[in-house]
Amino acid sequence: MKMHFCIPVSQQQPDALGARYTLYSVYLDGFLFCRVRYSQLHRWNEQLRQVFGNCLPHFPPKYYLAMTTSMADERRDQLEQYLQNVTVDPNMLRSDVFIDFLKLVQLDTFRITTKRASLDIFLPDGRSIEAEILTSDTAERVLEVVSHKIGLCRELLGYFGLFLIRFCKEGKLSVVKKLADFELPYVSLRSSEVENCKVGLRKWYMDPSLDSMLMDCRAAVNLIYMQAIQDIEKEWAKPTQVQRQKLEALQKEDNQTKFLELSQEVQHYGYMQLDPCTCDYPEPGCGAVISVGNNQISCCIILPDNQTQDIIFQMNKVKCWQVTFLGTLLDMDGPQRTLNQNLELRFQYSEDSRWQWFVIYTKQAFLLSNCLKKMISEKMVRLAAENPEMQIEVPEQGKSKKYHIQQSQSKDYSSFLPRKSKIKIAEVDCVLGTIKEEGL
């Protein structure tokens, strides 16, 4: 699946000889990932082409004369599309030439050298694991180091991920983003301007029934048990009073298996809950709490009269979604580490045989989009397991699994409109800098 890469801004810089060159600020999931020159990306494309041949997406051509403003904007758009499209192939994502280049530009951008370092990885119960790593270690590598320390079976790594998590006042937490396999957690943490941010280990699947795949590994059970307790304490999962009493009794007995079995019946167990945000239903500006998981988008909407209304959107009725960047850039002449997080995610769903748009305004729009993609991916894996004649390639935590799927079931799901302070959407396909989820 494509990733949320965008290049919302570029800057003119002088080189050692006094000539000018363009430095592109590349963002991933709304946060500055790296700054690169066209020449660096061009060399990288040539290296990728030596390995993967002509299956690479189109790379914008060189210009030997001075570029006009429109030509510069076109190149920026094309480079953006290239970065989005090159991440579709899971084999490319795992290749050394792909990962080594992205490691280098991340380190160079934030002026961090490769050296040994300690990185605290926080568990759901508040404890941390001190991981001895290199500053150039990817999230995939750091996860392997942590899993080895806690005894997590290697074949289960795909069910977990590393996240940037902000620990807020009154014990609340906010998941900022899921770290991509090729991201450098040490660099991402040091470069983040989000206060009280830490790297945390959480399960990374949206279907609660997948707990059953982990029950033979003690370390995996410990992790999802800790997260279940945390989610209930943070009120992400909402047990009834009777369920809460039974869960507290099982917790006192340290009966993890029974606790997790009962948790399957708890409302919003295994869901990702976003920070309070706003939406456009039933009218613009209504407050909302969004929880996503188990093939659902659950919205608790605060109406103008302060009453609440619960709405559940089933993913099988969602046709597509798109993330739009609405705001202006912060610190135009400064470090530009993060975009102004004025984002919206809108999805199109079917109601009473009509397609309608539901709009959510949230700083966690990219996280929400990644959760939706995860649910689609898990659904396709289930369909493939039920029908061996279908074929689909699903990238899964650094691994690739091939399945069979009918061509008619492969479709675009999401898009990303990364820049413009004001954007009018005239039709579904009219998007700027589109990311489309193809070939699921």
DSSP codes joined into one string, 171-225:
G-EEEEEEPPTTS-HHHHHHH---TTEEEEEEE--S-GGGGGGGTT-HHHHHHHH
Count Cα atoms within 13 angstroms, Cβ side, for 158. 14
Pairing of strands 318-325, 343-351: antiparallel
Reduced DSSP (H G I as helix, E B as strand, rest coil) percent helix, strand, coil of the chain, to 5: 35, 30, 35
Cβ-contact 162, 83 below 8 angstroms = no
Residues near 155 by beta carbon (within 8 Å), at least 6 away in sequence: none
Nearest partner of 324 among 360, 300, 298, judged by Cα: 360
Which residues contact residue 406 at a Cβ distance below 8 angstroms, ignoring those fewer than 6 apart? Answer: 390
Longest dimension (CA), the chain: 74
- Give the CA distances from residue 344 to residues 49, 217, 255, 355, in Å, rounded to whole numbers and listed in that order: 36, 39, 42, 19
Question: What CA–CA distance (Å, rounded) separates 137 from 298?
Answer: 36
Q: Cα torsion for 381, 386, 392, 395, to the nearest 10°?
A: 20
Block means of pLDDT (10 residues each) for the chain, 440 residues, are: 87 78 91 94 96 91 76 90 92 94 97 97 95 97 97 96 91 93 96 91 97 97 97 96 97 97 97 96 93 97 92 94 74 47 89 91 95 94 80 42 35 55 29 33
pTM, full prediction: 0.85
Tokens in use for 195?
């206060």
As a whole number of Å, the end-to-end CA separation of the chain is 7
